[in-house]
């Protein structure tokens, strides 16, 4: 599921991949459901390709999102990101991912992670565990 959810640099929110055209993708915003083209010169990243820095090895984003879902019982994170202090952000991530690399993970990264999680929950896209299990079976 996360392979088809995209982050486009310079555009707010997340986008769902709808179709591919010549030299562009057709994406749909998870916020307002409007469709628009995304071109090859845009920096487009699939959430399935993102990982979080930890003290050991990088952890795929799907595992971090699954841990957030477990902590929040499937609900959105209630933290106000505009008013949250850096300590509150880091403490929250430490509860979800205790081994995160405190030197390389910035406060903005944590804010983006929480806002993405809330957006995915609001859109009903919360099957993070199923994907994690399927990926583990492929590696075995």
pLDDT tens digit string along 9-56? 888 889 999 999 888 999 999 989 999 999 888 899 999 999 999 998
pLDDT tens digit string along 77-90? 888 888 999 999 99
The yes-or-no verdict on residue 132 having pLDDT over 70 is no
Residue 9 shares a structural domain with residue 64: no
The yes-or-no verdict on residue 137 having pLDDT over 70 is no
Structure tokens that stand for 64 in this block: 């971090």
Number of domains, the chain: 2
Residue 56 shares a structural domain with residue 22: no
Q: Are 40 and 30 in contact (CB under 8 A)?
A: no
Residue 135 shares a structural domain with residue 116: yes
Residue 10 shares a structural domain with residue 61: no
pLDDT tens digit string along 74-125? 888 888 888 999 999 999 999 999 999 999 999 999 999 999 999 988 888 8
**What is the model's pLDDT at position 75?**
85
Cα-based distances in Å from 75 to 24, 49, 72, 89, 126: 34, 24, 5, 18, 10
Percent of the chain predicted with pLDDT > 70: 91
Residues spanned by the domain of 75? 50-139
Q: Could you tell me the maximum CA-CA distance found in the chain, to the nearest angstrom?
A: 46
């Amino acid at each position: 599921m996360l392979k088809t959810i995209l982050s486009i640099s310079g555009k707010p929110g997340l986008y769902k991949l709808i179709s591919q055209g010549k030299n562009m993708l057709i994406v749909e915003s998870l916020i307002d459901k409007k469709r628009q083209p995304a071109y090859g010169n845009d920096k487009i990243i699939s959430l399935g390709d993102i990982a979080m820095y930890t003290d050991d090895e990088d952890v795929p984003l799907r595992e971090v999102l699954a841990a957030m879902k477990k902590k929040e019982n499937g609900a959105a994170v209630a933290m106000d990101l505009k008013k949250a202090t850096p300590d509150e952000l880091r403490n929250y991530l430490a509860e979800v991912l205790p081994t995160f690399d405190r030197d390389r993970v910035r406060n903005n990264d944590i804010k983006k992670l929480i806002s993405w999680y809330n957006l995915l929950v609001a859109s009903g896209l919360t099957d993070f565990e199923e994907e994690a299990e399927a990926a583990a079976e492929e590696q075995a």
